[in-house]
């Protein structure tokens, strides 16, 4: 896939990808969901092209400080990255990527934190709309 673009209002960015699915407890709290799906990108392939994100620094379970970037207008989580100098990897939230349908997860990490029911979603009743 060529470079993807992502947008919240008013922040836009370009990225290339590696796809991950994370059920980490911190990710569950920060996303308000059972998991977070991200695209991992190298710092030199990620560029904010309009606007400036609001930054929150979270101390991870490991003690590492993680920078969380949010849209300053709507609060949408955009990315996380390690605090400090380059080279960086960014974890871009898939929900903000326009081409998200093409971003199929390739690996699940932090599975020790996943909720038990996540592995059996096929048995849950499905509705096309609310």
pLDDT digit string, tens, across residues 70-102 = 888 888 888 989 888 777 889 888 888 888 888
The β-bridge partners of 41 are: 90
Q: What average pLDDT does the structure give for the chain?
A: 75
pLDDT, residue 29, reads 56
- Give the domain ranges of the chain: 4-111
For residue 59, what are its two tokens? 């101390």
Please report, for residues 54, 78, 93, 94, 128, the alpha-carbon distance to residue 15 in angstroms, rounded to integers and kept in the order given: 19, 12, 11, 11, 30
Q: Given this model, what pLDDT does residue 51 score?
A: 87
pLDDT at 25 over 60: no
Domain 4-111 annotated CATH 2.170.150.70: yes
> Would you state the pLDDT for residue 44?
84
Instruction: Flag whether the pTM goes above 0.85.
Output: no
Return d(Cα 46, Cα 52) in angstroms, integer.
14
């Amino acid at each position: 896939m060529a470079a993807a673009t992502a947008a919240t209002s008013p922040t836009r960015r370009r990225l290339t990808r590696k796809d991950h699915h994370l059920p980490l407890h911190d990710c569950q709290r920060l996303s308000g969901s059972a998991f977070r799906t991200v695209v991992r990108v190298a710092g030199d392939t990620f560029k904010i092209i309009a606007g400036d994100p609001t930054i929150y620094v979270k101390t991870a379970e490991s003690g590492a400080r993680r920078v969380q970037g949010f849209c300053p207008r709507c609060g949408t989580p955009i990315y996380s990255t390690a605090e400090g100098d380059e080279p960086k990897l960014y974890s871009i939230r898939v929900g903000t990527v326009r081409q998200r349908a093409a971003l199929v997860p390739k690996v699940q990490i932090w599975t020790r934190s996943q909720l038990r029911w996540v592995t059996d979603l096929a048995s849950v009743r499905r509705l096309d709309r609310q």
